[in-house]
Each structure stands twice: as C-alpha cells, then as structure tokens.
Amino acid sequence: MNPLTPIGWIYGRISDARNALYDRGVLQSHTLGAKTISVGNITTGGTGKTPLVALVADILAERGEKVCILSRGYGRKNARSRVLVSDGEYVLVDAAIGGDEPVELARKLVGKAVVIADTDRVSAAKWALSKFGITAFVLDDGFQHRRAKRDLDIVCIDATDPFGGGKMLPAGRLREPVENLRRADAVVLTRADAGMDVGGLTERMARFVTLEKIFSASNRTVAITRRAQFFWGSQDRESSQMPEHIFAFCALANPRSFYSLVGNERALVGERSFRDHHIYAQDDIRDIEKNAHSVGAEALVTTAKDAVKLENLKFKIPCFVIEIETQASAGFREMLLSI
C-alpha cells in the first residue's frame, strides 16, 4: 500500500467535514454582488482549466457583460496582497507580481475582462464592483472556494487523466472525493480530442451530473509566434513558421499534453519540464539551450503561460510560443448564457 494513502484518507475526511459545514450553513458563503461563474477542478492542476476560464470570460464579454476574473495567482510574490493584473484595457504587472496564469489570461482578454489576483476573492469582488461596475465574475479555480457563492459551478475533468490516480492528496491528485462532483452544475471533459474513451467517462460522470450538463472541450492552436513578437499587442501579432526540429520546454502540471500538441506541429527532438508555476532564471535558459543543442534542435518552443515569464531573459536559440484556445461542445454557450 502507498504509505501516503492513510494521510489521503484523513485529507478526504477533512474535506468532507468542511463541505458539510458549508452545506449546513455553519460556515457562510457570501454573494459577490453580480452573477458568478466558477471554473475549477477536483484534482490538482493540469486539467486545461485556464483556457476554459478564458472561453467563459470571452462568451460573457461578447454578451456585453463587464467581466472580472478573480484568481489567487499561484506562485506570485507577496501572495497575500491584492494585485490588479489588468484593468480590462491594459496588462499592468508582470507574472512575478501577478502570477503566470492571471497574466496569461489578462493578455488573452485585453479589452474583455478585468483580472485581479487576491486570496480573498470575496473582498476583491466588493472592491471590483465599486471600482469597475462589474456585472459578471469568473472564479478561476473556484470549486473548493465555497466562501464565494456562485450561480454556476463548472468542473473540468481531464479526459486523459480524470481522477489523478484515484487517490486523495498526497497519495494521488484528488482534492476531494470524486462523489463531491454532485456539487457541480456542469462538467467539462477537457482534452476530449486526445483519443480517450470519452463515452465511457461521460457515463461515469452521469452518476453525478445530468447528461445534458456534461460537455466536452478540445484545444486548438491559434497562433505560433516568436517570443519577442508575443509581447506585442495581439492585433499586431502574426503566426510564424517554426523550423522542423524543435525542443520544447514548459512549467505545467501536465506537460505531456503540451508535448503531444507540439509533436503535431513539428518534429519534437527533446523536451525539458519544470515544476508548475516555475519562475525562470537566466541559468534555466542556458541549461535549456544546452539540452536543445545536444539533440540538434533548431529552435525552442513553449506555452503562453511560460512565455509571460520570459520577457526579460536572453536567448541564443530562436524561441517560439504556441497559443491555444478551447472549443466546447454544443450547448455549452447556451448553458452559460442562460444564468
């Protein structure tokens, strides 16, 4: 038996006890003062949540909502401070201050969403309402954040690894027991185009959520740009042609999904993974380039989440950035706009 399994059992009981306190009203949930959509997961990291957050914000903005994304901003400096990452028109901080995912979202949603990093999302929402007149909040990674009431609770399930080994933290990657998916209003099966048995997974999900509230989503590449060009305004960027032999690097919870995507674009001759939310230093770039040179790579490639942490670093080998977006199955947009 995994020696961490008993600790995982205790973690699960603590999670259930906390949820019971919210269900009984002992712990209070607070309305944020505007319609609120949570996008979260039941496992730690790597479920394709961030592109789905962007899609939800984009759909709401298209309807004319004044959207604000509330995120904790993992990995940032001064993690307990409130940071206005974007005022909806401009990205105001870098990834070290705002966190890599909030900055990535802010760049993707310029002109469409305010982005705030704050561990106290109830307080941040109150501030955003008074400052920006927000009409719709999107909670990034909000399934376990029950202190904030929500009108719609969306949970991402990675179709390539649905339950993180099927065990609770720290033995596996489950944040709470699978049965707690009954709390969700909708489930989105991400990376549904990866050749897995999505039908079988959908049947399993139907034990917790009605079939009409189970959706699938897949990612598609929308741009491949040189690193320097990535930092221009989105309207000025054009896709670039990568060389044939490339070396990929990233700091993601699920790097395999990125490497598979890269392999669909070009010949992937090598790869280097860092811990999720890793902050790159110049020594990291030197090591990456040394690894790339040893396998004959002509260029490097990374993700938008990683690229926001590379602006002030120097590269000797050309570096490209793959930008993706999520497409959800029929009915998702209608479900979202019905709240």
Reduce the DSSP state of residue 19 to 3 states and report it.
Answer: helix
The pLDDT assigned to 161 comes to: 87
Indicate if 191 and 255 belong to the same structural domain.
no
C-alpha span between 185 and 16 (Å, rounded): 18
Q: Where are the alpha helices (DSSP H) in the chain?
A: 5-23, 49-62, 95-98, 100-108, 121-132, 198-205, 227-230, 255-265, 282-294, 304-307, 332-337
C-alpha span between 122 and 128 (Å, rounded): 10
CATH of the domain at 162: 3.40.50.300
pLDDT digits (tens, 9 = 90+) for 198-226: 888 999 999 999 999 999 999 888 999 99
Indicate if 24 and 95 belong to the same structural domain.
yes
The mean predicted confidence, pLDDT, of the chain is 93
CATH of the domain at 305: 3.40.50
Q: Which residue, among 335, 334, 250, 248, has the nearest Cα to 291 in the 3D structure?
A: 248
The pLDDT assigned to 255 comes to: 93
pTM across the whole model: 0.94
The pLDDT assigned to 165 comes to: 82
Q: Which residue, among 12, 31, 336, 338, has the nearest Cα to 154 in the 3D structure?
A: 336
pLDDT digits (tens, 9 = 90+) for 247-267: 999 999 889 989 988 988 788
Indicate if 183 and 71 belong to the same structural domain.
yes
> Are 244 and 322 within 8 A, CB to CB?
no
pLDDT digits (tens, 9 = 90+) for 68-87: 999 999 989 989 999 999 99
58, 117, 317 from 141: Cα distances, Å: 17, 12, 35
The pLDDT assigned to 139 comes to: 98
- Given a cut of 70, whether residue 317 has pLDDT beyond it is yes
C-alpha span between 53 and 60 (Å, rounded): 11
Indicate if 50 and 73 belong to the same structural domain.
yes
Domain extent at residue 75: 5-219+327-337
The pLDDT assigned to 233 comes to: 61
Mean pLDDT is lowest, of 74-88, 96-110, 113-127, 252-266, for 252-266
For the chain, how many structural domains are there in total?
2
Indicate if 150 and 239 belong to the same structural domain.
no
The pLDDT assigned to 45 comes to: 80
